[in-house]
Structures are given as C-alpha cells and as structure tokens.
Amino acid sequence: MFSLYILRGLRGHGLVCVEPDGNLTLSPAGEKRVRALDGRVRFFRELLEDAGVEPAQALLDAISFSWEMSEASFEAFRALKQS
C-alpha cells in the first residue's frame, strides 16, 4: 500500500512514467532530479570525508543532508566551500 502512495506522488510530480507494459521509467524531470541529488550527495560526501568522517558514515550522512536541505542552504554551503 505504501509503495502505491509513493508511486502516485512520483507520478503526480512528473518524476516517473508508467509504460504501457507496466514498467516504470524516469521522466526527463525525474532524471534531472536524480542528477541534482547525485551531485549533492557527492558534494557532502567529499566534504565529510575531508573533515575526517569514515567513508561509509559520510555517505549515509550525505544522503540524509541531500534530501533534507533546501536548495538555498545547499547553494550557501557550495559557495562557502568555493571561497
């Protein structure tokens, strides 16, 4: 039941498409979102590993940060790292 709720949400946001044969594919918007999240995860994982966090924990924390953080806060972190 929970998976149907998630699927409806993803479809409602235009992130996935259900093909006629029932397979799921990412929409162009879904692919864009995945690329953005992947970039965030890589950014935070690298930042945490540079700070001495063990790689496995850095990845878990980076995934959490990536989902929870607003775009404005992420851009502020990125600007801070570049300065």
Question: Which CATH number characterizes residue 48's domain?
Answer: 1.10.10.10
The whole model's pTM is what?
Answer: 0.74
The total of structural domains in the chain comes to 1
75 touches 82 (CB < 8 A): no
Per-residue pLDDT of the chain (83 residues; tens, 9 = 90+): 667 888 888 888 899 998 899 888 999 999 999 999 999 999 999 999 999 999 999 999 999 988 888 899 999 989 988 88
Phi, psi of 56 (to 5 degrees): -65, -45
24 touches 17 (CB < 8 A): yes
The sign of the dihedral angle between the CA atoms of 42, 43, 45, 49 is positive
| Domain limits for position 44 | 2-82
